[in-house]
Amino acid sequence: MSAAGPHRVGENGFSYVEVLVATVFLAVGLAPALEALRDGVAGSEIHATLMTDHYHLTAKMEEVLAQPFAALEAAAAAAGSPTVPTSYSDAVGAASRRLVYVAGYDGDDADGDGDPFTGADDGLLWVRVEIENTTFAVASLTSR
């Protein structure tokens, strides 16, 4: 007996239906995979922006904290309020302008009012650096 006909027993390979089903599975799974990849790429761009802003802020903070304490006290006195930017701020119109605030700080709350900016302790200053019109900011205390 001879095996005649289009389908021989033990023949290797894929049939047209198997290839078609595999192609459909790949097509159905490809759309969500590409969507996840798009979100990942967008997330990496956001992360890069956040890291740039972070380094921009910390560089300014280090620059300000490197100033003599007397100069920081003078800047705080000139500003007169913790909500008024000091002369250490970047120039108006600068890209990602950094605003620097310096004020006396009441670390022990000796006056009992709960406001850290009234009754400031001698030799203790609060320094805040923020990027204008954003929520990105860093703050620190420095002492004599």
Which among 70, 99, 71 is positioned nearest to 85, based on CA atoms? 99
Q: pLDDT (tens digit, 9 = 90+) per residue, 19-63?
A: 888 889 888 888 888 888 888 888 888 888 889 999 999 999 999
What per-residue confidence (pLDDT) applies to 129? 96
Q: Which of 92, 90, 79, 60 is nearest to 125 (CA)?
A: 79
- Each residue of 78-124: pLDDT tens digit? 998 899 999 999 999 988 899 999 999 988 887 888 888 887 788 89
Note if the pTM is more than 0.85. Answer: no
Answer for the pair 96, 60: CB distance below 8 angstroms, yes or no.
no
Q: What are phi and psi of 19, to 5 degrees?
A: -65, -40
Instruction: Please check the confidence at residue 74 and state whether its pLDDT lies above 60.
Output: yes
Q: Per-residue pLDDT for 10 more than 70?
A: no
